[in-house]
Every structure is written in structure tokens, then in C-alpha cells.
Chain A
Amino acid sequence: MVEWTDSERAIINSIFSNLDYEEIGRKSLCRCLIVYPWTQRYFGGFGNLYNAETILCNPLIAAHGTKILHGLDRALKNMDDIKNTYAELSLLHSDKLHVDPDNFRLLADCLTVVIAAKMGAAFTVDTQVAWQKFLSVVVSALGRQYH
């Protein structure tokens, strides 16, 4: 089981309580699709992904980015059992969506970059440590049910 210090819990909660889900969700997913274009393979039905500009203006991608970010709320509410919290979602990504679990890491990295831009100097070393620990637990949980 993952151990969280009070400080880590406070940092994670603080990030989420100040989060603009629409802005950060959209920016993170767009960035992922632009920086790692092979991730576009999962978005065949999402309209025009022709270049960076069209990706950034795509409303379906924006909506999906928000949805993904809200998906992290589950982990926030169940920090002491993220592994089981995401068991069902993990199976979904494996059996129905067929997403290579390495993509979870790519999206997590883009999310970190976008949050760093938003927070600036407030994204301290301790904040980054806690944030990346949280995301790595989520990423691991999402990949756990693959078979």
C-alpha cells in the first residue's frame, strides 16, 4: 500500500482544489497529441487532428481532456487505495480501448508540464515530488489489470 505523508496529501489536495479542469484538461491532452503524435491513434473518431492548430481548436478533444482530468478525482478521494479504485478503469483501457499503458505515462508527463506552467514558481521541488508520486501511482494502477 502506498504511504502518503500529511504534507503530500495537502499538496495534492491543494493542486486539485485550485484546478481549472477545462483549461488544464484541454491543454494536457492537446499537448500529448502534439508532442507524442502516435497517441493520436486512439482518437480516430475525434474529428480533425491534422496539425497542432486544429488539435488545439478541437472541441471533442477539449471535452475529452476535461473528462480524463475528472477521472483523477477518484484517485484523490481514495488516495489510500488507488490500486483498487482503478481496477475497473484499468480493465476498460485494456479490454475495450486497447490503450498501450505507456501512454498513461506520456499523458501524465504532459499534465505535469501544463501544471508547472500554470503554477510557475509555486510548483516547488516538493510539489513536483508529491505530484509525480501521485501520478505514478495512478499510472501504475491503470496498467495493473492488463493481461
Chain B
Amino acid sequence: MSLSAKQKATVRDFFSKMSTRSDDIGAEALSRLVAVYPQTKSYFAHWKEATPGSAPVRKHGITIMGGVYDAVGKIDDLKGGLLSLSELHAFMLRVDPVNFKLLAHCMLVCMSMIFPEEFTPQVHVAVDKFLAQLALALCEKYR
């Protein structure tokens, strides 16, 4: 399910519109992940707390969103462009791939909340496909 040229343009365009609120979306999305899917807190046991809205969750959500934006810039070659991030996730973080889908869903919900007019079904499918491709690129080195 690779992205068409039109869908890549849609993704770039929407992320550009979103850029003023990208930190909020990242922070909110991770907060919602640990709240709606509490099992995901298992990856954050080393933090003092992993409650929604807490400082470490917000900060890490922003970091992740930064990575997503970086990936938008590499949309034409996600596997190649995300090689080192893939190694990090494969050998160090070892996040079960099912969780990428869960976080993607939370990101889509936040985008929809903050940009209800712009997040049309057409934008939704393009962004969903992009996040799925991103997840695949992150899993590239897993096995």
C-alpha cells in the first residue's frame, strides 16, 4: 500500500499546515496512547511516571513527532532514510510493532480534533498510509 505522488503531496501539505501545533499533537498523542492502551506504559517503566499529560510523556511525544516530521522529508525513501532509527528500534528499544498502529491511531485522533476541517477523509487515508509506511521502515531491521 505505497503512497501515490498525489498522496505524498497531500501528506507534505497537511504536515506543513499542522506545523504550528505539531508539539501539541505529539504530546497529546502519546498521552492518549498510554491512557487508552495502558499496556504501552510497559515501555516507560524507567520513567518516574507515565501518566497522560505528565512532563516525560509530553517531552517524549514531542520527540516522536519530530521524528515523524523528519520522515515526511524522507517520504520518497523511508527505508533508506530511517535506517539508523530502524536499528535503534530493532536492537535497543524493541517496541512490538503492533504499538506503532496504536500510536498512529492516537495521532490521527489528535489531528482530527485540532484540524477538523482540513483532516478530510482523503487527507486521513494519505496520512494513515504514510504512518503505516513509516512503521514498516522502523521495523525494517527487526528480523
Q: Interface on A for B, CB 8 Å cutoff?
A: 30-31, 34-35, 52, 56, 109, 112-114, 116-121, 123, 125-126, 128-129, 132
Contacts and interface: CB of A to CB of B under 8 A. Distances in A.
- Interface residues of B, dominant DSSP: helix
Nearest to A121: B113
A35 B109 contact: no
Contacts of B8: none
Given A125-B52, A125-B53, A129-B35, A35 B112 contact: no
A127 to B, nearest CB: 10
A111 B135 CA distance: 23
Interface residues of B, number: 21
Given A35-B125, A118-B116, A113 B108 contact: yes
Contact of A125 (B32, B108, B116): B32
A34 B125 contact: yes
B31 interface: yes
A114 B31 CA distance: 20
